């Protein structure tokens, strides 16, 4: 990083104070969620800003007892893991020939994926709902996984094609000379080298699926089928007057992604900045 | 990302082996692409075609009667639709704001302010939170007795206290603030990454030539960042037009009295509350056209980077 010019201590001080203010502001909601989740409702009413004087776990007990949070956590985990794994496999398989072989339709297909990355899900929801209702897949986690995989593919392919293209061809040619077929080359040569790119795709996609609301809301209307993110909005509707309890739900919804972020921050940032080279 | 390099260049003579005829690699390629294509075909291609079909037919499945444009005619005259469009357009106004603030923060971070990495991580936290989590939290923080009003009260600024999400005059601004809050981290991460990749010599040369900070930023740094800024602005414009459903649903559900109603809610309500998919589909087509227009501008102005030779 370039060093700041000399003799501008005032500007420097202002920058430090401003950054501190920005940091306090941006961390505040997370801070609010965490401190509120461990407060009694009584304490929340008298103490909104400071950590709890007398931390309680009662909200967690109640959240798991009265709400269906545990079921929702299970649904979210299942749907997230399934969608992310299927999307990673399917996209890797497709991205490899797209980056390597030459065949009719290759560039149009890559172009299609780029365009589809920005199609808003809300325009797809109406026909997809009719489609899956006609198939009898209502309140079906399978239907939701299919939709998520479809929505994740364009970004995943785009990122992986860009990455595969940077792997030197000579490595594959060596494998081919040793008698490996295309699939074998993909599995034994390309995939090990592509681990960072695949992990990036998995992390970014996992966060996206876990946090998704609209599709979860529309396709999983049964209380037992909801994801945690969609369930949280119902949880709040039901317990709106109990701020600490709702914030406990918010905390439970946030912790897995926060852990993922802490572990995979590097990959996450790489994924978000991918394709913005210039 | 093109930054990956692999030193293991193996010196192998290029030799082609063609087992199974010249069509075999092409067939393998299609076979490998097929699963991805199948998902895309169902989720995007079929859906978009069906969407157009539904928008010109009536009935619960959007497949009855002769094709007609009744739904389009109805919605463009529908005051609720117009209000929703107006709200989306007003949300667009927050794009310059979030862009300038994100640029400012990333400049300060790039100067090497003490703890810049920590700051970058912290500023990014709201982007990690699920939008509904952010929404449910702000419902409390912005409520009448919430943290913001209590804080203003403690500062003696009682006159500024508002029912931020309950007052029709304030609700859209409040939602815009929540969106800015969420998207800011994305902008900072994007801009910082670009700033870090700029050659330092250019900066140094400009400083030696006596550039002030402002001149350096305006004449040297910004022109080099044009591509990433355009991309960010375009993505944010698309977000404000067509990806704000989760914010509105988790805070106000479009209220009070439609004061925060947006296009996505119009589509959602028509489809799933009023059970009239035809109107929802027609509105969706119009939204899609608006989004496509923005993408076209983006693709023309910046080259989306694909390394496929």
* Residue A77: its H or E element: helix A69-100
Domain boundary among A17, A34, A59: A59
Which A-chain residues 173-202 have CB contacts (< 8 A) with chain B?
Answer: 173-174, 176-177, 182-183, 193, 196-197
Residue A3 lies in a domain: no
- Asked if A15 has any chain B CB less than 8 Å from its own CB, the reply is yes
Q: Quick check: A13 and B122 in contact, CB under 8 A?
A: no
pLDDT of residue B299: 64
State how far residue A58 is from chain B, nearest Cα, in angstroms: 19
CA separation for the pair A125, A132 (Å, rounded): 10
Are A232 and A141 found together in one domain?
yes
Cβ–Cβ gap B54/A243 under 8 Å? no
Name the residue facing A1 among B8, B112, B291 (closest C-beta). B112
Rounded to 5°, angle at Cα A91 from A85 and A96: 130
CA separation for the pair B119, B97 (Å, rounded): 20
Residue A139 lies in a domain: yes
A181-233 pLDDT, tens digit each: 777 887 888 888 888 888 888 988 998 999 899 999 999 999 889 999 999 99
Write the CB contacts of B132 (distance below 8 Å, at least 6 apart in sequence).
A211, A213, A229, A230, A232, A233, A253, B246, B249, B250
Cβ–Cβ gap A2/B285 under 8 Å? no
Are A163 and A145 found together in one domain?
yes
Are A91 and A24 found together in one domain?
no
Are A51 and A189 found together in one domain?
no
Cβ–Cβ gap B32/A261 under 8 Å? no
pLDDT of residue B265: 94
Residue A84 lies in a domain: yes
CA B295 to chain centre: 12
Domain boundary among A24, A42, A59: A59
Q: What do you get for the CA distance between the two ends of chain A, in Å?
A: 19
Are A22 and A148 found together in one domain?
no
Residue A1 lies in a domain: no
Write the CB contacts of A99 (distance below 8 Å, at least 6 apart in sequence).
A160, A161, A162, A163, A164, A165, B308
Which ipTM score applies to this complex? 0.87
Per-residue pLDDT of chain B (309 residues), as tens digits, is 344 444 444 444 455 555 556 777 788 889 999 999 999 999 999 999 999 999 998 888 878 888 888 889 999 999 999 999 999 999 999 999 999 999 999 988 887 778 888 888 888 888 888 999 999 999 999 988 888 898 998 898 888 888 899 899 999 999 999 999 999 988 998 898 888 888 888 878 887 888 887 888 888 888 888 888 988 898 899 889 989 999 999 999 988 989 999 999 999 999 998 888 999 999 999 999 988 887 777 666 555 444 443
Residue A31 lies in a domain: yes
Give strand pairing partners of B58: B64
Angle between helices A69-100 and A106-116 (to 10 degrees): 150
DSSP 8-class letter at A57? -
- List, in order of start, the domains of chain B with CATH numbers: 24-77 (no CATH), 93-261 (1.10.3720.10)
Q: How many CB atoms lie within 10 A of CB B66?
A: 7
State how far residue A94 is from chain B, nearest Cα, in angstroms: 4
DSSP conformation letters of B37-102? HHHHIIIIIIHHHHHHHHHT-BTTTT-BSS---HHHHHHHH-HHHHHHHHHHHHHHTHHHHHHHHH
B219 CB-contact burial (10 Å; exposed 0-12 / middle 13-18 / buried 19+): exposed
Are A171 and A51 found together in one domain?
no
Are A125 and A257 found together in one domain?
yes
pLDDT of residue A125: 94
Write the CB contacts of B229 (distance below 8 Å, at least 6 apart in sequence).
B99, B103, B191, B222
A108-162 pLDDT, tens digit each: 999 899 889 888 999 999 999 999 999 998 899 999 999 999 999 999 999 899 8
* Residue A172: its H or E element: helix A169-177
Are A145 and A43 found together in one domain?
no
Going by C-alpha positions, the residue among A92, A204, A196, A118 that lies closest to residue B36 is: A92
Whether pLDDT at A97 is above 70: yes
Hey, of B127, B128, B247, B285, which one would you mutate to test binding to chain A, going by the most A CBs within 10 A of its CB?
B128
Name the residue facing A97 among B29, B46, B302 (closest C-beta). B29
Q: Quick check: A119 and B290 in contact, CB under 8 A?
A: no
How many domains, in total, are found in chain A? 2
Domain boundary among A19, A38, A59: A59
* A91 vs B contacts (CB less than 8 Å): 36
Cβ–Cβ gap B54/A94 under 8 Å? no
Are A52 and A96 found together in one domain?
no
**A146-158 as b/e: b if 16+ CB within 10 A:** bbbbbbbbbbbbb
- Specify the pTM: 0.87
Give strand pairing partners of B64: B58
CA B38 to chain centre: 26
Long-range contacts of A10-17 (CB under 8 A, 24+ apart): A11/B213, A12/B113, A15/B108, A15/B111, A15/B113, A16/B113, A16/B114
Residue A4 lies in a domain: no
- Asked if A81 has any chain B CB less than 8 Å from its own CB, the reply is no
Residue A2 lies in a domain: no
- Asked if A234 has any chain B CB less than 8 Å from its own CB, the reply is no
Write the CB contacts of A40 (distance below 8 Å, at least 6 apart in sequence).
A54, A56, A58, A244
Whether pLDDT at A20 is above 70: yes
A119-129 pLDDT, tens digit each: 899 999 999 99
Domain membership of residue A36 as a residue range = 9-59
The torsion angles phi and psi of B244, rounded to 5 degrees, stand at -105, 5
Going by C-alpha positions, the residue among B142, B212, B50 that lies closest to residue A28 is: B142
Residue A230 lies in a domain: yes
Are A55 and A72 found together in one domain?
no
Are A45 and A162 found together in one domain?
no
pLDDT-based confidence at residue A5 (cuts at 50, 70, 90) = very low
Going by C-alpha positions, the residue among A179, A173, A276, A165 that lies closest to residue B6 is: A165
pLDDT of residue B44: 95
Q: How many CB atoms lie within 10 A of CB B302?
A: 18
* A118 vs B contacts (CB less than 8 Å): 235, 238, 291, 295
CA separation for the pair A121, A218 (Å, rounded): 11
- Asked if A110 has any chain B CB less than 8 Å from its own CB, the reply is yes
Q: What do you get for the CA distance between the two ends of chain B, in Å?
A: 15
Q: Domain holding A159: CATH number?
A: 1.10.3720.10
* B30 vs A contacts (CB less than 8 Å): 103
pLDDT of residue B306: 46
Are A131 and A85 found together in one domain?
yes
């Amino acid at each position: 990083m370039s060093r700041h010019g000399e003799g501008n201590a005032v500007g420097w001080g202002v920058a430090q104070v401003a950054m501190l203010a920005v940091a306090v502001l941006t961390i505040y909601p997370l801070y609010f969620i965490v401190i509120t989740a461990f407060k009694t409702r009584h304490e929340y009413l008298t103490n909104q800003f400071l950590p709890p004087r007398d931390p309680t776990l009662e909200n967690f007990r109640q959240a798991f007892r009265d709400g269906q949070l545990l079921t929702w956590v299970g649904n979210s985990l299942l749907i997230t893991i399934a969608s992310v794994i299927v999307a990673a496999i399917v996209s890797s398989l497709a991205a490899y020939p797209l980056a390597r072989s030459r065949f009719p339709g290759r560039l149009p297909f890559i172009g299609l994926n780029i365009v589809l990355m920005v199609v808003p899900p809300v325009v797809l929801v109406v026909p997809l709902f009719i489609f899956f209702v006609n198939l009898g897949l209502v309140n079906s986690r399978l239907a939701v996984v299919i939709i998520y995989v479809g929505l994740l593919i364009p970004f995943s392919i785009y990122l992986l094609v860009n990455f595969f293209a940077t792997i030197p061809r000579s490595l594959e040619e060596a494998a081919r000379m040793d008698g490996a077929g295309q699939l074998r080359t993909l599995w034994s040569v390309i995939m090990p080298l592509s681990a960072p790119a695949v992990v990036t795709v998995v992390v970014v996609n996992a966060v996206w699926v876990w946090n998704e609301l609209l599709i979860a809301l529309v396709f999983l209307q049964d209380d037992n089928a909801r994801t945690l993110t969609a369930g949280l909005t119902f949880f709040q509707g039901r317990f709106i007057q109990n701020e600490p309890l709702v914030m406990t739900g918010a905390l439970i919804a946030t912790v897995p992604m926060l852990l993922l972020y802490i572990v995979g921050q590097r990959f996450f940032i790489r994924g978000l900045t991918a394709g913005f080279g210039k | 990302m093109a930054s990956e390099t692999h030193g293991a260049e193996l010196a192998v003579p290029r030799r082609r082996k063609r087992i199974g005829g010249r069509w075999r690699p092409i067939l393998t390629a299609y076979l490998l692409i097929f699963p991805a294509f199948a998902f895309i075909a169902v989720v995007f291609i079929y859906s978009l075609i069906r969407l157009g079909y539904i928008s010109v037919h009536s009935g619960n499945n959007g497949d009855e009667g002769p094709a007609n444009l009744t739904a389009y005619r109805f919605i463009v005259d529908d005051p609720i639709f117009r209000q929703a469009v107006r709200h989306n357009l007003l949300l667009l106004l927050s794009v310059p704001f979030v862009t300038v603030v994100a640029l400012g923060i990333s400049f300060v971070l790039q100067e090497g302010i003490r703890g810049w990495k920590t700051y970058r991580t912290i500023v990014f936290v709201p982007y990690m939170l699920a939008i509904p989590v952010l929404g449910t939290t702000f419902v409390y923080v912005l409520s009448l007795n919430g943290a913001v009003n209590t804080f203003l009260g403690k500062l003696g600024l009682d006159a500024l206290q508002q029912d931020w999400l309950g007052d029709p005059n304030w609700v859209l601004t409040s939602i815009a603030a929540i969106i800015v809050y969420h998207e800011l981290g994305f902008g900072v991460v994007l801009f910082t990454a670009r700033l870090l990749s700029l050659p330092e010599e250019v900066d140094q040369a400009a400083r030696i030539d006596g550039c002030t900070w402002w001149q350096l930023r305006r004449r040297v740094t910004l022109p080099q960042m044009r591509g990433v800024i355009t991309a960010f602005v375009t993505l944010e414009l698309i977000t404000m037009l067509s990806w704000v459903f989760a914010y509105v649903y988790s805070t106000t559900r479009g209220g009070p009295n439609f004061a925060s109603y947006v296009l996505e809610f119009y589509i959602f309500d028509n489809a799933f509350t009023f059970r009239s998919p035809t109107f929802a589909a027609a509105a969706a087509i119009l939204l899609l056209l608006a989004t496509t227009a923005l993408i076209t501008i983006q693709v023309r102005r910046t080259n989306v980077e694909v390394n496929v030779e």
